[in-house]
Structure 1
Amino acid sequence: MNNHAIHYIIRFLLGEDISEEIVAAIGYTNNSKHYDRYSIVIIPSGFFTNHIYGTASSLPELPLQEIEGTPLLFGSPLVEQIGDTLVIHADIIASTYFLITRYEEIIQRNVRDEHGRFPGKNSLPYRAGFLHRPIVDEYRILLRKWLRQYGLRIPEIPKEIQHIYLTHDLDSPTLYRTWKGVIRSIRDKRGIIQSIQGKCGPVENDPYYTFPWIFEQNNLLREQTGKDICRAILFVRSGGKCKQDKPHYSLRNTDISQLIQSALSNDMTIGLHSSYQAGIAPTLIKKEKTWLEKNVERSIRFNRHHFLASREPEDMTHLEAAGITDDFTMGYADVAGFRLGTSYPVHWINPVTRRLSSILLHPLTIMDCTLEEKKYMGLNYEEALAYSLNLIEQVKNTGGELTLLWHNTSAQENTDSYLRKLYSHLLNELAKK
């Protein structure tokens, strides 16, 4: 196994506030002759051995064991003192690696939905019943606790949300602003005059154009938490010819350019919403990024895939090659929770080559339509609120970051959807955290 990646995982589990000297005090070895070199030794489970890694036999078996109440993917819950060294038989290194790399997706290449995505309900975290818990962050708490037991002065993790990302994907900016929209408007029995006004009048009158309300909601929270804690991002599509990429809006369209300028004036970051087509052919990502940069006249470093369709783990290499530094795709479309097992941003490790990359993955905690749509979780308002607040509390308790994805179409007024109300409620709750 790549020692650089192992060192990174140990460092990631400990946290950035822990010194390199303490990181070096943790060993990952089953060689008992080396135990006395370390304060803590974590025993490798065999997951990384060449004859096991990359095979179906490497997948954890259910039911999982637990270590102090936390699910353990590899190893055993035995903790023992050998000489002056605390020896941990729970392989939290391999368990963390499995989750943050999307390892199971390279073993189960044949398990994909109609959009080429690995379904959350097929994932180990869902099947084992811990998708709603960031168990990698729980490993972090355990590891720091073990270090304190050894006598080292390690602080408790503050129970507070470190960062909040309020993110919005620009899929359907407007409903009635094209000639097709006029026809749709007439079919919706809005009348010819109102339909023409819908196309030619103020864009703010379009039912999909809920951005002024979104900006207002976001800014209220940002003022209360501080802009260094809470950040807003608008992911804009700049390509794609698949039917799933419709409507094919132009970045030079007056409404779109006005929206982007309005977003920038509200201190939002512009990110790339790489197209559905680019999800199929990731080499297109660089072209789409370049075109977006040309039109917004600034460097683009953030990305989220349309439909959350990051199909294969190794496709991340194309984001890296395009100059993307941060990706916000990592959530399941069909069920909300902690896809990577963590609420912390984590550098991607390619599970095929085991190479540690420069790209930083920001876990997507909650997407609006995941909660409401019948084909996904199909929750009513009370259920969605309770589920969302529990995820937020999990992030708070482990000191991680929270990412919400709310589409402008989910913030419409006078619809049967509860998502506008829920977004406002969640932001009000976050203001209290």
Structure 2
Amino acid sequence: MILIYTHKVTPRVRYIFKQIFTRILQVEIDFTGKVEEFVAFNGPKFSYTNVPLGKEFFVQSNELLFQQGIKDVEVNIQEWEGVPCFFSAIEASEIPFDIFAASFYLITRYEEYLPHIKDKHGRFSANQSIAYQNGFLEKPLVDVWAYKFLEVLKHKFPDFENEARTYQYISTIDVDNAYAYKHKSFIRTIGGFLKDASQFKIFTIWDRFAVLFNLKKDPFDTFEKIIELKKTYNVRTIFFFLIGDYTTFDTNVSASKRKFKLLIKDMVDYARVALHPSYYSMNDVSLLKKEKERLEAITNIPIKRSKQHYLRVSLPETYQQLIDLEIEEDYSMGYASHVGFRASTCTPFYFYDLDFEIQTPLKIFPFALMDATLNDYMRFTPKQSLGKIRDLKNEVKAVNGTFITVFHNESLSNYLRWRGWSRFYNSMLKIVKEG
């Protein structure tokens, strides 16, 4: 155990110290505000305050963890042995910055509470983040800092030992369109034929016809393949089903269709099934509640996991709504336009509500990449994408973190914009599961 002296134990202090020590480094900690208790303690210890008490191991504290509410925070990037950092500390500090305040700033997404311009889908853009602007978006910086800090601690306390955590991988599959052509309403099917005809898409017309008359399998029906690969590579897999009513942005099969319900029930037998709240549910809690109840009625199990469609997250409102509906895990923490670590960590963390200054029961699972990001935004080939995946996986493995990916059932189809990508998911699983 490590004893930490600080002049004031705030909810922010407890939250971020527990994240860094307990969840990342697997180290037990305790706090004291009594100098005599701190001095008398014989084990590993350090002070986290404005000035050192004496000649003890000392980390200078920034004001951020002792404040309440949102304030304009000045972030000046410096370097710590080749790694970016900020919130500089005085020379007496064992490390040149306040690792705890800086980690809190990144993990709570403090900058997303500050005034910013949202994109066309109402999202915080990657290019507005300090991680993107300072070139560390593709690094789980909080975890890197934590492991470097552990080295400093061990140098000071050579007898100190901790048990390292193990690298993990989670595959999440978004089901925005369970089928390309099957089980759509008569109006949507006719509309699809007419649209293809107006654009002279002869091959698409034939495919649509062949699928509807059972001459070919629906190209987006790749679920057997995903389950087969899950078994082959022993992968923890979560399916996020979009079951909202039809809109411009929500174009899945109707949740009233028997075949779609059977598909969802079938997936429950092989993997975890979760909610993919529809586009407009971000601003409508009643819609979110309706969709959660709809999925629970199909699966006959409580739905505890969620990932926003289009990754539409507005802090803190989106997470507050999920908490109200007793969602326990969210997988939306990432960017559509860029790969990397939106919260600068590859360790799941509890959402800290800066509005109410409390750690909430909602656990955030940050993902590192999405198939559509590589194909649609970055315009990578499958080969280039695998190289990027290897780089990101190595970053996560170096800190024994949790590597999470987002794929769609469509990307295994080898169809339309996914032509040439059919083996990509298989190849990716080989990379993330290799030693």
TM-score range, shorter chain: 0.7 to 0.9
Query: If the length of structure 2 is used for normalisation, what is the TM-score?
Result: 0.85
CA displacement at 1:341 relative to structure 2: 0.6
Please name the residue that 2:229 is paired with. Answer: 217
Q: Please point out which of 178, 181, 201 is paired with 2:189.
A: 181
Match of 1:18, as an amino acid?
Answer: V
Other-structure match for 2:50: 30
Equivalent residue runs for 1:26-65 within 5 Å:
26-33=46-53, 40-48=57-65, 54-56=70-72, 58-61=73-76, 64-65=77-78
One-letter code aligned to 1:395: V
2:35 maps to: none
Asked if 1 retains the 8 angstrom alpha-carbon contact of 2:13 and 2:65, the reply is no
- Distance in 2, Cα, partners of 1:100 & 1:334: 20
Tell me which residue corresponds to 2:79: 66
With over 3 angstroms needed to count, the CA separation of the structure-2 counterparts of 1:111 and 1:207, relative to structure 1, is: same
Task: Give 1:351 deviation, angstroms.
Answer: 2.7
Match for residue 219 of structure 2 among 196, 207, 211:
207
2:63 match: secondary structure: coil
Equivalent runs, 1:4-403 vs 2, <5 Å: 4-16=11-23, 17-21=26-30, 25-33=45-53, 40-48=57-65, 54-56=70-72, 58-61=73-76, 64-76=77-89, 80=92, 87-108=94-115, 110-151=116-157, 152-155=159-162, 157=164, 160-161=166-167, 163-177=168-182, 178=184, 179=186, 180-181=188-189, 184-185=192-193, 187=197, 188-189=201-202, 195=208, 198-199=211-212, 201=214, 205-222=217-234, 230-240=235-245, 242-247=247-252, 249-266=253-270, 268-373=271-376, 376-403=377-404
Deviations 1:207-234 (A, max 9, x none): 1111111222222111xxxxxxx31111
TM-score relative to the length of structure 1: 0.85
Equivalent residues of 1:329, 1:364 under 8 A apart? yes
Superposition deviation, residue 45 in structure 1: 2.3
Partner AA of 1:265 in structure 2: D
Aligned partner of residue 378 in structure 1, secondary structure? coil
Q: Secondary structure at the match of 1:217?
A: helix
Runs of 4+ in 1 over 4 A off after TM superposition: 21-24, 48-51, 190-197
**Any unmatched runs of 5+ in structure 1?**
81-85, 223-229
Tell me the equivalent position of 1:83: none
Shift of 1:191: 9.2
- The code of the aligned residue for 1:239 comes to G
Is contact 2:12–2:66 with CA below 8 Å preserved after alignment? no
AA aligned to 1:380 is: T
Q: In percent, how many aligned pairs have the same letter?
A: 25
Give the Cα separation in 2 of the matches to 1:305 and 1:191. Answer: 30
Give the deviation of 1:400 after TM superposition.
0.6
Using the TM superposition, name which of 395-404 and 280-289 deviates more.
Answer: 280-289
Match of 1:405, SS state, is strand
CA contact (8 A) 2:243 2:277 kept: yes
CA contact 1:2–1:355 (8 Å) conserved in 2: no
Q: 1:215 to 1:125 in 2, by over 3 A?
A: same
**For residues 247 and 105 of structure 2, what CA distance do their matches in structure 1 show?**
33
Partner of 1:432: 434
Change in 2 beyond 3 A, CA 1:192/1:242: closer
RMSD: 2.7
Q: Could you give the per-residue CA deviations for residues 370-411 of structure 1, whole angstroms, max 9, x where no partner exists?
A: 1111xx222233332211110011110011101111101111
Report the Cα offset of residue 280 of structure 1: 2.5
CA offsets, 1:31-65, max 9 Å, x none? 434x67xx6432122335659x6333x0413xx10
Cα deviations across residues 136-165 of structure 1 (Å, max 9, x unaligned)? 00111022112212214134746x52x211
Q: C-alpha distance in 2, partners of 1:340/1:12?
A: 13
Question: Separation in 2 of the partners of 1:192 and 1:384?
Answer: 31
Distance verdict in 2 for CA 1:111–1:192, change over 3 Å: closer
**How far does residue 195 in structure 1 lie from its aligned partner after superposition?**
4.5
Q: Indicate if the aligned counterparts of 1:59 and 1:104 stay in contact, CA closer than 8 A.
A: no
1-structure distance, mates of 2:227, 2:181: 21
